[in-house]
């Protein structure tokens, strides 16, 4: 499942290019494979919030820090609730509906309920994406049979930094789930988070790992850490905005046919920073006012920005 094309050294060399040269190269690559003025819009719904057994340092939903973050443990949403949310997302212009559950991995009974949610989304004519954690034997095949388009499972960060972010499972376990998803015939949504205190080398390593998957993920969310109070990373030093744009550009160049998505942290980004990210090759966003437990840019603000930049939704 790996290809040696993009080493960490090669990706780091992209980061070190003069900013204008890097963006020029990224825009050239982008235009070879995509409409430069088209942005895919996805909507994200938390179908089960809080109470997760894992200790991911960036996340507010860990059961280990309920009191610190104030996140209440919720039950799996009812099917009708999901249908209402999916219809609203479609009416607002989203073409893909993503559902996330705070689990280490789904139990069989819960998986059966989630499969019904997938079918509801598909019946609405939307692409369906899930993020449920680590998948057990046969679960990827069940999701594929239900018509799931994408399974999201991020690598989070470079392998050498991973144990500073998560200790309750390994990055290798995440890779096993990705292999299962790909083997079942589904598309992969896989990216990471930047701004967690990692070095540029770690960011390059993450992109190298993603680009070296064979094939590369069809969708690559690049998340900017939202420093949530009560999490171990609440005081992480802010990432230079130009470094974030460089990350987007390096992702575009190293994964030329992937959808590169501006994900978490977009609410805090200025219109100018988002415009630079689109110029660097980002061509997907999360659309809607909430991402699991954190805020997101308002839909009206997004539409106004699209109008100002002459962008169209796909």
Q: Could you list the active site residues? A: 52, 56, 59, 98, 129, 189, 261
Pairing of strands 96-101, 127-131: parallel
Beta bridge partners of 116: none
CB 217 within 8 A of CB 284: no
Q: What is the rounded CA–CA span in Å between residue 118 and residue 106? A: 14
H helices of 161-270, in order, are: 171-183, 200-211, 241-254
Task: Say which residue the tokens 């998505």 belong to.
Answer: 261
Q: Is residue 221 a contact partner of residue 250, using CB atoms and an 8 Å limit?
A: no
Q: How far apart are CA 196 and CA 41, in angstroms?
A: 26
List residues bridging with 295 in a β-sheet. 290
Spatial separation of the C-alpha atoms in residues 193 and 31, rounded to whole Å: 25
Listed residue (270, 273, 265) closest to 295, CA to CA? 265
The continuous run of DSSP H or E covering 118 comes out as: helix 108-123
């Amino acid at each position: 499942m790996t290809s040696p094309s993009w080493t960490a050294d090669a990706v780091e060399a992209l980061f070190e290019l003069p900013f204008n040269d890097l963006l020029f190269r990224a825009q050239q690559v982008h235009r070879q494979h995509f409409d430069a003025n088209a942005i895919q819009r996805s909507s994200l719904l938390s179908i089960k919030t809080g109470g997760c057994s894992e200790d991911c340092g960036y996340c507010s939903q860990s059961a280990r820090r309920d009191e610190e973050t104030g996140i209440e443990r919720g039950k799996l949403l009812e099917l009708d609730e999901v249908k209402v949310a999916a219809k609203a997302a479609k009416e607002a212009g989203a073409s893909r509906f993503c559902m996330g559950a705070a689990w280490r991995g789904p139990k069989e009974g819960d998986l059966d309920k989630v499969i019904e949610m997938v079918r509801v989304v598909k019946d609405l004519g939307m692409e369906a994406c899930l993020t449920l954690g680590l998948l057990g034997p046969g679960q990827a095949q069940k999701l594929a049979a239900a018509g799931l388009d994408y399974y999201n499972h991020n690598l989070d960060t470079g392998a050498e930094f991973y144990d500073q972010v998560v200790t309750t499972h390994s990055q290798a376990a995440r890779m096993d789930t990705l292999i299962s998803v790909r083997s079942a015939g589904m598309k992969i949504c896989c990216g990471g988070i930047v701004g967690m205190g990692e070095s540029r080398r770690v960011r390059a390593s993450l992109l190298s790992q993603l680009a070296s998957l064979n094939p590369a993920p069809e969708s690559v969310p690049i998340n900017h850490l939202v420093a949530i109070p009560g999490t171990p990373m609440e005081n992480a030093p802010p990432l230079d905005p130009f470094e974030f744009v460089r990350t987007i550009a390096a992702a575009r160049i190293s994964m030329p046919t992937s959808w590169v998505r501006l994900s978490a942290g977009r609410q805090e980004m200025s219109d100018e920073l988002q415009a630079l990210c689109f110029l660097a090759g980002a061509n997907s966003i999360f659309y809607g006012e909430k991402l699991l437990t954190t805020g997101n840019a308002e839909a009206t603000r997004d539409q106004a920005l699209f109008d100002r930049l002459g962008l169209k939704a796909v």
